[in-house]
């Protein structure tokens, strides 16, 4: 008998897919209707390729949450802890000290007021995906942690490279 996916897992998976889709549509609209000079100002100097890349990552992880792949759950948890770390760093340190964290996590300086929103989402993800009922729902493999950590490190490196392009 096939496992029935919990409603919360379905909702979180579709939220990530939906967010990625919205970002792709926004970038497409930006490319079509806004001049390149205005795009640079709107995107705060960050390449639109960076946002397209991030959108595909959101959709990939959302899809794999829907498929109940444990490495996707672990990836969400690792990144959620990272965003919470960023939020607490923002609260307790000056803006000057955050420049390195800003580069690692890929948040443009202009989006700092929204980090509290991301921090809230991260806390919700952590509390939900650590519940025993949710953990047992996912397909487990001995390589899940390696996949999740490898994907996280790889995406942080790619994230940094994409911001430079």
Tens digits of residue pLDDT in 54-107: 889 899 999 999 999 888 888 888 888 887 887 777 666 655 555 555 555 555
Higher pLDDT, 95 or 135: 135
Alpha carbon of 160 to those of 22, 82, 86, 114, 119: distances in Å? 22, 15, 16, 20, 21
pLDDT of residue 60: 92
pTM: predicted TM-score of the whole model, two decimal places? 0.75
What are the residue boundaries of the structural domains of the chain, listed by start? 7-164
Give the 3-state secondary structure of residue 94: coil
pLDDT of residue 106: 56
User: By the 8 A CB rule, do 125 and 12 touch?
Assistant: yes
Instruction: Map tokens 């300086």 to a residue.
Output: 109
Average pLDDT, integer, range 108-125: 71
Q: How many helices (H) and strands (E) does the chain have?
A: 8, 0
Q: Answer yes or no: is pLDDT of 139 > 80.
A: no
Q: Tens digit of pLDDT for each residue in 49-68?
A: 777 888 898 999 999 999 99
CA distance 86 to 90: 6
Please tell me the least confidently modeled range out of 93-102, 130-139, 147-156. Answer: 93-102
pLDDT of residue 9: 93
pLDDT of residue 1: 43
CA distance 37 to 9: 41
Residues 6+ apart with CB under 8 A from 17: 58, 59, 62, 63, 66
Q: For residue 127, what are the β-bridge partners? A: none
């Amino acid at each position: 008998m096939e496992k029935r996916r919990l409603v919360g897992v379905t909702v979180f998976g579709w939220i990530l897919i939906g967010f990625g889709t919205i970002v792709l549509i926004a970038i497409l609209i930006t490319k079509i209707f806004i001049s390149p000079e205005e795009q640079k100002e709107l995107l705060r100097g960050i390449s639109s390729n960076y946002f397209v890349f991030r959108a595909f990552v959101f959709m990939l992880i959302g899809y794999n949450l829907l498929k109940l792949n444990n490495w996707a759950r672990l990836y969400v948890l690792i990144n959620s802890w990272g965003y919470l770390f960023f939020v607490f760093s923002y609260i307790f340190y000056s803006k000057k000290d955050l420049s390195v964290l800003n580069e690692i996590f890929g948040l443009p300086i202009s989006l700092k007021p929204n980090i509290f929103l991301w921090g809230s989402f991260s806390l919700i993800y952590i509390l939900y995906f650590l519940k025993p009922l949710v953990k047992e729902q996912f397909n487990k493999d001995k390589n899940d942690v390696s996949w999740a950590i490898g994907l996280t490190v790889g995406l942080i490196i790619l994230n940094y490279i994409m911001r430079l392009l």
